[in-house]
Amino acid sequence: MRMNIDVVMDYQLDGPGPVLLAIEAAAIPGQRIENSMLEILNATHRHVPGEAGLGRRIWANVINDRLNLRYVADVEITRDEIPLQTLAQCDWQDLPSDVLSYLRPSRFCPSDQFMPFVAKSFGHLDAGAKVAAIRDWVAEAVTYVSGSSDAATCANDTFVSREGVCRDFAHLVCTLVRAAQIPARYTSGYGPGVTPPDFHAVAEVWLDGAWHVVDATGMSTSADLAIIGTGRDASDVAFMETQSPANPTYQNLIITRR
């Protein structure tokens, strides 16, 4: 599957200074960047590796109080969608060292607090079937409501309120899967099925020796998600980080199939 990504961002800043961006689709197995263009006005920029070495980030040194950029890319997705129920769980001692950290609680995914709930609700299932059941439970229990959460919302809040956006769905899935002793990470990306168009967030789970996309919003799959970056939770892969408040004056994403 091929997609076109067209992102325009215009943000008002407090003044000149550095801005860290994570908006480029990553050149990783399962997706190929056919061509891309990044233009940032009134700034110099350089690339640095992304979290855990996946993809890359951009340091933009903005010379005034306005961040204005456009990112365009054509991406081919070559990974397949594999039914979760067919996937086996890896033994702890066989997990790669860089996967182990995704078993642990993190700022927005306090998985240790959900172990009793997961054992009671999903303890009769194993491996991929357990992950599929968790995904389906989150999809059924949580309602997608734009503006219902903020940057401080964690999985506990979403579990109680039963509403959120893609970020909250991904955090809750990661939390419950980790509570089931299966590695799960938070992943940002682009998908043509995301409504309204925006930077998207999903969970990825480690089963059968590989990472697999799990999207409880139902807006994307492994076969149609262009991954930007990944981490323990949203704090690792924010699309923009600044040292002082940044207010959007205009932002538009157009993600289309080709």
- The 10s digit of each residue's pLDDT in 13-45 is 999 999 999 999 999 999 999 999 999 999 999
Specify the amino acid at residue 94.
Answer: D
Q: pLDDT over 90 for what percent of the chain?
A: 98
Listed residue (119, 128, 168) closest to 148, CA to CA: 168
Q: Is residue 245 very low, low, confident or very high in pLDDT (cuts 50, 70, 90)?
A: very high
Q: Is residue 228 very low, low, confident or very high in pLDDT (cuts 50, 70, 90)?
A: very high
Token pair for 92: 């702890």
Please check whether residue 256 is in contact with residue 3, taking contact to mean a CB–CB distance below 8 angstroms.
yes
Task: Burial-class residue 72 by CB neighbours within 10 Å (0-12, 13-18, 19+).
Answer: middle
Cα–Cα distance for residue pair 215/253, rounded to 1 Å: 20
Q: 3-class DSSP state for residue 13?
A: strand
Specify the amino acid at residue 238.
Answer: A
Specify the amino acid at residue 241.
Answer: E
Average pLDDT of the chain is 97
DSSP string, 202-228: EEEEEETTEEEEE-TTSS--GGG-EEE
Q: pLDDT over 70 for what percent of the chain?
A: 100
Domains and CATH numbers, the chain: 2-78+239-257 (2.60.40.2250), 84-233 (3.10.620.30)
**pLDDT tens sequence across 125-178:** 999 999 999 999 999 999 999 999 999 999 999 999 999 999 999 999 999 999
Phi, psi angles (nearest 5°) of residue 96: -60, 150
Cα–Cα distance for residue pair 108/96, rounded to 1 Å: 23
> Angle 127-128-129 (CA atoms, 0-180°, nearest 5)?
95
Cα–Cα distance for residue pair 144/164, rounded to 1 Å: 5
Cα–Cα distance for residue pair 53/49, rounded to 1 Å: 5
Q: Is residue 52 very low, low, confident or very high in pLDDT (cuts 50, 70, 90)?
A: confident
**Predicted local distance difference test score (pLDDT) of residue 258:** 87
Please check whether residue 234 is in contact with residue 244, taking contact to mean a CB–CB distance below 8 angstroms.
no
**Predicted local distance difference test score (pLDDT) of residue 170:** 99
DSSP string, 123-156: TT--HHHHHHHHHHHHHHH-EE-TTS--TT--HH
